Structure 1
Amino acid sequence: MRPTLLTACLLAAAPLAAQNAPCGGDFAAFKAALAAEAPAHGISADTARSFLSGVRQDPNVLKADRSQGVFQMPFVDFSRRLISQSRIDKGRANARKYDAIFTEIESRYGVSRGVLLAFWAFETDYGAVQGDFNTVNALVTLAHDCRRPGLFRPQIFAAMKLYETGDIDPARTTGAWAGEIGMVQMLPEDILENGVDGDGDGHVSLKTSAADALMSGGKMLQSLGWRAGEPWLQEVTLPDTLDWSQTGLETEKPAADWAALGVQPREGTLPDLPASLLLPQGRKGPAFLAYPNYRVYFEWNQSFVYVTTAAYFATRLMGAPVFNAGNPDPALSDGQMKALQQKLATRGFDVGEIDGILGAKTRSAVRAEQARLGLPADGWPTAELLNAL
């Protein structure tokens, strides 16, 4: 069973504490250290030992963690791969089926049904594909691994608390390879903080209850800063004379200022909100204004292409048309992108890991070098830029 899209990239911005968290060494000794630490988190040593007794290291989790090439795809290809007519039809059917739940979420948390439907679709195909990795094995394996222990070690103690309430079974609870559980894929800490018993049965059952999963997802988005009643992404058309260096998430202007520069909505009107102009594949491809709620997506997920696709799909589910794909310049190959990142890093830019993925840091560096070289500074790397460097 494939890993969900959320698990494939939520790890891109792990906390700095990850560098100092205990990890590695003998796995049995590592488990014993977890049990010894549990009382400091309000968990009895007996509970911790019971929770950890059957835990095994899972090499398939580590393999999945190191296989995340899907996010190297450009936005147009990625979105076409994820957004099918079947997913749109199922989303609209679920919007009708759970209308009362979505209405309550919109009233209580201010989160549009389109937003939650898009997450639900992409993470688990509306609950059909939730992952078959043992959750506790996955969390302990990733905490023992020394890549991001600071992210996963706290999740183990949160899972122990869910074990105490009967909401996690170490032997039977399954989910994604990075330890998320349920229809909208939430980590144990997020379940503790934002889990909602939407169906009133006394438990937060994100795997089996759509009401619990959707209500919990709505509460989580609100806690991350979602602003009620505001849009998140809007397709726009652009003049050929635009200053492309102003595009990207680093620049934010009132929507009225973008309008004064010739940026126009493809449908409807521009709201009275600050916005950034996004060009996922440069000035020749699709164009969107991203509003404050768009940035909340990055609190859920760290991949630019995933976030933009999820945000766009949410607008589709709310009635927006298919985006105008335009005719963007060809994307660089994996090898070319890594070579470009290496050249940018050599020039002093922080592009993060040399991974072939066009993330926010690489886009910013590309834009700066395009401007320096007198190229259109739209953040889309081309063979021309690579050759110029």
Structure 2
Amino acid sequence: MSSLLRKIPARGLALSLFLTLPFAALAAPCSDTGGQYESWKPLMAEEAKAAGVGRRGIEALMATSYSKATIGADRNQKSFKYSLTKFLEIRGAEAIVSQGRKRRAQNPDFYAALERQYGVPAGVLIAIHGMETGFGNFMGDTNVVSAIATLAYDCRRSDFFTPHLIGALKLIDAGAITTQTRGAKHGELGHTQFLPGNALTYGVDGNGDGRVDLTDLVDAMASTANFLRQKGWRPGAGYQEGEPNFAVIKQWNAATVYQQAIALMGARIDG
């Protein structure tokens, strides 16, 4: 598999300030079909320019194509319909817990260091890693920029995905990704599947090489821990349903069964 994310200077993370910009005043019109996608792109390009996207990012946007695979995946998300028991079975919870315990035992100092710095227990991070990419075994096969652009264009969740499209285009400007970068069907990147806007905002240099690379396990785990901490994770507090940190797990994925699965598997890995 080709690399999902090239090395990006850590200082480039300051570009995340774009997330606070008032997009509504400039918003390009959305659509429920792909028929207007080509005419939407130049309108979106003007919005992107106003948000600080440079020439390379704009060129990348104009080179995108409407992703039917992404729309199909977005319209067919079954996780919201499953019971917790069914979801755990389908996602291979037992295998994730078993492998997760082994991974923690093989590198205890690494996970202990992350917990000291960010307050997030190993089990939660490992459960997310296992759930998202099978511990890095599959990080996606979809063109990231086209996927994110398609979701920004589509009316279903345009407001949510437009900032992430701007993020992807700024990653292009910074040389962090290319027009060929592959990720998940919704444009997520790396070991734990960060959306581009979140990569800018929460990505950290975990291995100390001065760069953030979400295909690097150390950077990805540190970035995941940082995301949770910045979302309000309370070190030492519980993370099961009804406990303080479960509300933070909700920030990771919108599906209730997904949230429950992370908490349950995390506890078993930590146990």
Shorter-chain TM-score tier: 0.7 to 0.9
Q: Could you tell me how far apart the structure 2 residues matched to 1:78 and 1:146 are? A: 28
Q: CA deviation at 1:224?
A: 0.8
Give 1:69 deviation, angstroms: 2.2
Mapped to 2, the partners of 1:71 and 1:122 lie a distance apart of: 15
Q: Give a deviation string over 1:60-89, Cα, whole Å, max 9, x none.
A: 111111112243221122223334443223
- Give the structure 2 partner of residue 182 of structure 1: 190
3-state SS in 2 of match to 1:56: coil
2:68 counterpart residue number: 59
The separation in 2 between residues aligned to 1:166 and 1:74, in whole angstroms, is 42
Aligned match of 1:220: 227
Q: CA deviation at 1:103?
A: 1.9
Give the structure 2 partner of residue 145 of structure 1: 154
- Residue 129 of structure 1 corresponds to 138
Which amino acid in structure 1 is aligned with residue 193 of structure 2? Q
CA offset at residue 210 of structure 1? 0.5
- Measured after TM superposition, the shift of residue 38 of structure 1 is 2.3
Q: 1:35 Cα shift?
A: 1.9
Return the alpha-carbon distance in structure 2 between the equivalents of residues 194 and 68 of structure 1: 26
Is the Cα contact below 8 Å between 1:106 and 1:113 reproduced in 2?
A: yes
> How many angstroms apart in 1 are the aligned matches of 2:160 and 2:169?
16
Q: Which runs of 5+ in 2 are unaligned?
A: 1-23
What residue is the counterpart of 1:301 in the other structure?
253
1:101 CA displacement: 2.7
Residue aligning to 1:30: 40
Name the counterpart of 1:96.
105
Quickly say closer, same or farther: Cα 1:170–1:98, change in 2 above 3 A: farther
Change beyond 3 A, Cα 1:170–1:99:
farther
Paired-residue identity, %? 36
**Superposition TM-score, scaled by structure 2 size:** 0.84
User: In structure 2, what is the Cα distance between the partners aligned to 1:27 and 1:75?
Assistant: 37
Deviation string 1:22-53 (CA, Å, 9 cap, x unpaired) is: 21362222111122222321223x22332224
2:51 equivalent in structure 1: 41
Counterpart amino acid of 2:192? V
Cα distance, 1:148 vs structure 2: 1.0
1:112 paired residue among 118, 121, 145: 121
Distance 2:115 2:71 in 1: 38
Q: Give matches, 1:230-379, under 5 Å.
A: 230-233=237-240, 290-319=242-271
Deviation for aligned residue 1:183: 0.9
Indicate how the Cα distance of structure 1 residues 56 and 26 shifts in structure 2: closer, same or farther if over 3 A, else same: same
Distance 2:60 2:210 in 1: 22
Quote the Cα distance in structure 2 between the aligned partners of 1:35 and 1:318: 46
Does structure 1 conserve the Cα–Cα contact (< 8 Å) formed by 2:239 and 2:245? yes
Question: Residues of 1 paired with 2:109 and 2:41: CA distance?
Answer: 44
Q: Over residues 222-266 of structure 1, what are the superposed CA-to-partner deviations in whole Å (9 max), with x where a residue is unaligned? A: 011110011212xxxxxxxxxxxxxxxxxxxxxxxxxxxxxxxxx
Higher relative contact order (CA 8 A, sep 6+): 2
1:201 shift after superposition: 3.0
Aligned amino acid, residue 151 of structure 1:
F
CA contact (8 A) 1:83 1:313 kept: no
Aligned position for 2:7: none
Quote the Cα distance in structure 2 between the aligned partners of 1:21 and 1:150. Answer: 10
Q: Tell me the distance in 1 between the aligned counterparts of 2:206 and 2:136.
A: 16
SS of alignment partner, residue 130 of structure 1: coil
Partners of 1:179 and 1:187 within 8 A in 2: yes
Give the Cα–Cα distance (whole angstroms) in 1 for the partners of residues 247 and 156 of structure 2: 26
Q: CA deviation at 1:92?
A: 1.6
Structure 1 length-normalised TM: 0.59
Q: 1:203 to 1:73 in 2, by over 3 A?
A: same
CA apart distance, 1:187: 0.8
SS at match of 2:100: helix
CA RMSD of aligned residues (A): 1.8
Aligned twin of 1:192 = 200
Gaps in structure 1 of 5+ consecutive residues: 1-16, 234-288, 320-389
